[in-house]
Amino acid sequence: MDRNEIRANLTRHLTYLSVTLGDRSICRPGNLKAAEDYISQNFTAMGYAPRRQGYRYMDEEVGNIIAGDENPGGYHILGAHYDTVAGTPGADDNASGVAVLLEVARLVRRLSPPRPWTFIAFTLEEPPASFTPAMGSKVYAQQARRQNARILGMLCLESVGYYSQTPNSQSLPLPLKLLGYPTTGNFIGLVSDWRSRPLMDQLAAAIRGACRLPAVTLSVPFPGHILPEVRLSDHSSFWDEGYPAVMLTDTAFMRNPNYHEPGDVMDHLDLPAMTELTLGLVNFIEQQGR
């Protein structure tokens, strides 16, 4: 696959979401809807038939955008939230995740994955909706559970664009320091609960086998009680419904000084690293279930 083409597409998505639109919070409903429309239009241009899972929040109509095959026999999900905290352009959090989501969806459209995949752009991951019933991923996961959907695994792209080669650029909770986790922020973190560890291990192997981006794994037995930070994105909505899920992250505020700030701009992102992550995910999708 052409790394230059992948990088160009990632740049295009990042530019529209974080520069042209910027703040995509519920406080800027016009921008939030424009981001939603952009994602839907891109899915359509790839040959998908996206559907909108709409609902109301704070007197605004919001929605998740879903593309791919929600096969009753079982399917995987790759997801990312497209909203931001108010007042930030959200390049890393989370235009980076949406850009990778869209580019992976484009690339695997040419392939025949052994099992069905669905690509979801979630709304309202950020405050004030975080961890309320209005969080987009909770709306989806709870409905999936009510309908007995067979979700084989969910991968959550949460802030995947910020990397550093500087020593001590990676902060860590004390338990992870004691366990010898790296203190240079040049890796993609993969985080699971214990039930999701097999999915995480398969993902880590696929990333390491297809790209140049280091992958570091963490499996937590009781997320929420041990290292509550590991719950801070859409994957936790799926954990709560009993589905296996893994978060992919650059660790956000543990590495990126621009987290939830106006300085979260695309100039600070590492496009080559995001390109490598895209290749690793395509490899995982291509081989999953074979």
What is the average per-residue pLDDT within 55-65? 97
Give percent of the chain with pLDDT exceeding 90: 92
Single out the residue of 90, 31, 40, 89 nearest to residue 67, CA to CA. Answer: 40
Q: How many CB atoms lie within 10 A of CB 283?
A: 19
Tokens read off for 97: 């995740």
pLDDT digits (tens, 9 = 90+) for 228-238: 889 999 999 99
Q: Whole-angstrom Cα distance, residue 283 to residue 210?
A: 6
State yes or no: cis peptide before 128, omega within 30 of 0: yes
Determine the average pLDDT of the residues in 93-99.
98
DSSP result, 90-123: -IIIIIIHHHHHHHHHHHHTTS--SS-EEEEEE-
DSSP lists the bridge partners of residue 75 as 151
List of domains in the chain: 3-287 (3.40.630.10)
pLDDT in tens, 2-36: 999 999 999 999 999 999 999 999 999 999 999 99
Three-state SS letters, 49-71: CCEEEEEEECCEEEEEEEEECCC
The answer to whether 281 and 104 are in contact (CB under 8 A) is yes
The pTM assigned to this predicted structure is 0.97
* Lowest-pLDDT choice from 52-56, 73-77, 225-229: 225-229
SS3 at position 251: coil
17: nearest Cα among 92, 110, 69: 92
